Amino acid sequence: MALRWTLVLLLMQLSGYFRSGTCGKVLVWPTEYSHWMNMKTILDKLVQRGHEVTVLASSASVAIDPSKTSAIKFEVFPTSLSKDDVDSSFKKLFYTATYNPSKDTFWSRVSQMEEIMWGFSEVVRKVCKDAVLNKKLMTKLQESKFDVLLGDAIGFCSELVAEILKIPLVYSLRFSPGSVLEKNGGGLLLPPSYVPVVTSELSDQMSFIERVKNMIYALYYEFWFQGYNVKKWDQLYLEALGRSTTVYESMKKADMWLIRNYWDFDFPHPFLPNFDFIGGHHCKPAKPLPKEMEDFVQSSGENGVVVFSLGSIINNITEERANVIASALAQIPQKVLWRFDGKKPDTLGPNTRLYKWLPQNDILGHPKTKAFITHGGANGIYEAIYHGVPMVGIPLFADQPDNVAHMKAKGAAVRVDFNTLSSTDLLNALKTVINDPMYKENAMKLSRIHHDQPMKPLDRAIFWIEFVMRHKGAKHLRVAAHDLTWFQYHSLDVIGFLLACVATAIFIFTKCCLFFWRMFATAGKKEKRE
């Protein structure tokens, strides 16, 4: 009987497999750090479904380690940068942003973001140039006849490679500063009256003053934000394609945008048919913890545990900050698992254990977990949503303050400030999210929304990538807005023409009235004279 069931399950899996059509060849233009982790979830699933996946990685790539993933192919190309160049330049930017004491205004955060994006964009541009101007590499890729290119829209270049290879393009994207890519490349129209600008820390319920702020932020990103240094990119595209074009023109050709967000995390806003929201696609049910960790967790009894991580980039913090934090953690009745790679803080309590690495998803999914102290990276927040864990957010840079603001607006998190927090602040925040049942309830509500979707986020991501391979694109989802200039899109030419028509009509009407009035007036005078 057991054998028969296995056979049935196997048949079911196979039927699902064949329904998707034949297997394809996927080329990937990856991005570093957590972006690569996200992308890899999709790639692993593609490999599992029998597709051939090739990652186009530079010799300076930091997070992408070909030796670690045997099922994925790697096409490593040489670049003038070294791994150290890339890693140190990124980390320097992140650390500067983290320890910026004036980080509590929108403008300081945006200037950090601009600095990070500028540095990031410069590194990617050098790597991109080394790839696309490498004729041998491009010829080899062209001959390999890939069915689709999968790229993270945040970094540019993937659309250029897709254009050179003349293959369809699918984007994955968490967000871009001020949604400049989603708007200018994707065609989204996001009214600033109710769609808070990314990094604004505003919610969708805004007061008049908040709407004024949001409008200014939107205008700033639209007209003054230079983090991508788009003009330099345009030059590279011109050089590589041999014709006048822009980055945004290339982006408009993307077949699908898989946005790593959903309405459990984001506030509802307008979107287009070639956008799908796959936020939390990397989340999985929790696996059992390593024995030592499980024993520690179980030793917490009724009080449960608190999980603390500042993400994959920041493993270490200053001694002073570490002591403040450790002293707060020492005062709670819960046991604490802290991902920390620095000197053991003097104030560390017996209830707190330090780990160089944590199986974060597995601990967040543990029934004893009561709260999650997080830097507010999207991946961590999604794992907390998936498992319904309330949060204390200690945002550091980029979108993190905004992510935490979203969770706060949805009633599932309390925010504290990394640079200024005292032990009492952290202690109070922890007590609030653990003891006030509202936070757990709201976290569970988000979890229910996340789990109750027509189709799982990862399955949808795979569906659309396979769709694009099957149909050689998804042109039927592409809005005609992409074929219009900005003034045509906003109907400025049409409005101008109609106003001119109205003005002409009024002018002619007035002239006629005046003419007849004069005629009658003259006739009247004549009559009087007679």
Give contact residues for a second copy (rule: CB under 8 A).
Answer: 4, 8, 188-189, 191-194, 204-206, 208, 211-212, 215-216, 263-264, 267-274, 448-449, 452, 454-455, 459-460, 463-464, 467, 470-471, 476-481, 483-484, 488-491, 493-495, 497-498
Instruction: Pick between residue 413 and residue 434 the one whose CB is nearest to a second copy.
Output: 413
Instruction: Pick between residue 62 and residue 272 the one whose CB is nearest to a second copy.
Output: 272
CB contact set of 370 (below 8 Å; sequence gap of 6+) = 303, 304, 305, 306, 334, 389, 390, 434
State the minimum distance, in angstroms, from the CB of residue 453 to a second copy.
Answer: 9
Tell me the one-letter amino acid at 376.
Answer: G
Q: Which of 173, 158, 165, 167 is nearest to 247 (CA)?
A: 158
Partners of 338 in beta bridges: 308, 354
Region of residue 333 (phi > 0: left; psi between -120 and 50: alpha; otherwise: beta): alpha
Task: Match 């074929």 to its residue by tokens.
Answer: 483
Q: Which of 148, 193, 238 is nearest to 202 (CA)?
A: 193
Ramachandran angles phi, psi of 53, nearest 5°: -110, 125
Q: Which two tokens stand for residue 367?
A: 């029934």
State the minimum distance, in angstroms, from the CB of residue 214 to a second copy.
Answer: 8
State the minimum distance, in angstroms, from the CB of residue 313 to a second copy.
Answer: 30
Instruction: Pick between residue 197 and residue 326 the one whose CB is nearest to a second copy.
Output: 197
State the minimum distance, in angstroms, from the CB of residue 26 to a second copy.
Answer: 18
Q: Residue 359 burial by CB count (10 A; 0-12/13-18/19+): exposed, middle or buried?
A: middle
Instruction: Pick between residue 70 and residue 207 the one whose CB is nearest to a second copy.
Output: 207
State the minimum distance, in angstroms, from the CB of residue 259 to a second copy.
Answer: 12
Instruction: Pick between residue 138 and residue 449 the one whose CB is nearest to a second copy.
Output: 449
Instruction: Pick between residue 32 and residue 264 the one whose CB is nearest to a second copy.
Output: 264
Ramachandran angles phi, psi of 55, nearest 5°: -100, 125
State the minimum distance, in angstroms, from the CB of residue 191 to a second copy.
Answer: 7
Instruction: Pick between residue 420 and residue 491 the one whose CB is nearest to a second copy.
Output: 491
Nearest-angstrom CA–CA distance, 155 and 36: 12
Residue pair 172/150 in contact (Cβ under 8 Å)? The answer is yes
**Can you give the three-state secondary structure of 153-175, one letter per residue?**
HHHCCHHHHHHHHCCCEEEEECC
State the minimum distance, in angstroms, from the CB of residue 433 to a second copy.
Answer: 21
The angle that helices 230-241 and 106-132 make with each other, rounded to 10 degrees, is 10
State the minimum distance, in angstroms, from the CB of residue 253 to a second copy.
Answer: 15
In angstroms, the Cα distances linking 343 to 319, 324, 426 are 7, 14, 20
Q: Which two tokens stand for residue 481?
A: 């807005």
State the minimum distance, in angstroms, from the CB of residue 44 to a second copy.
Answer: 20
Nearest-angstrom CA–CA distance, 473 and 487: 28
Instruction: Pick between residue 321 and residue 482 the one whose CB is nearest to a second copy.
Output: 482
State the minimum distance, in angstroms, from the CB of residue 269 to a second copy.
Answer: 7
Q: Which of 360, 171, 179, 386 is nearest to 262 (CA)?
A: 386
State the minimum distance, in angstroms, from the CB of residue 375 to a second copy.
Answer: 25
How many other CB atoms sit within 10 Å of the CB of residue 111? Answer: 16
Nearest-angstrom CA–CA distance, 117 and 374: 22
H or E stretch including 89? helix 83-98
Residue pair 335/369 in contact (Cβ under 8 Å)? The answer is no
State the minimum distance, in angstroms, from the CB of residue 279 to a second copy.
Answer: 12
Q: Which two tokens stand for residue 453?
A: 């979707």
Ramachandran angles phi, psi of 133, nearest 5°: -90, 0
Nearest-angstrom CA–CA distance, 461 and 511: 64
Nearest-angstrom CA–CA distance, 340 and 297: 17
Instruction: Pick between residue 25 and residue 269 the one whose CB is nearest to a second copy.
Output: 269
Pairing assessment for the beta strands 73-77 and 52-58 based on DSSP bridges: parallel
Instruction: Pick between residue 77 and residue 464 the one whose CB is nearest to a second copy.
Output: 464
Nearest-angstrom CA–CA distance, 26 and 150: 7
Instruction: Pick between residue 281 and residue 339 the one whose CB is nearest to a second copy.
Output: 281
Instruction: Pick between residue 283 and residue 416 the one whose CB is nearest to a second copy.
Output: 283
State the minimum distance, in angstroms, from the CB of residue 273 to a second copy.
Answer: 4
Instruction: Pick between residue 15 and residue 105 the one whose CB is nearest to a second copy.
Output: 15
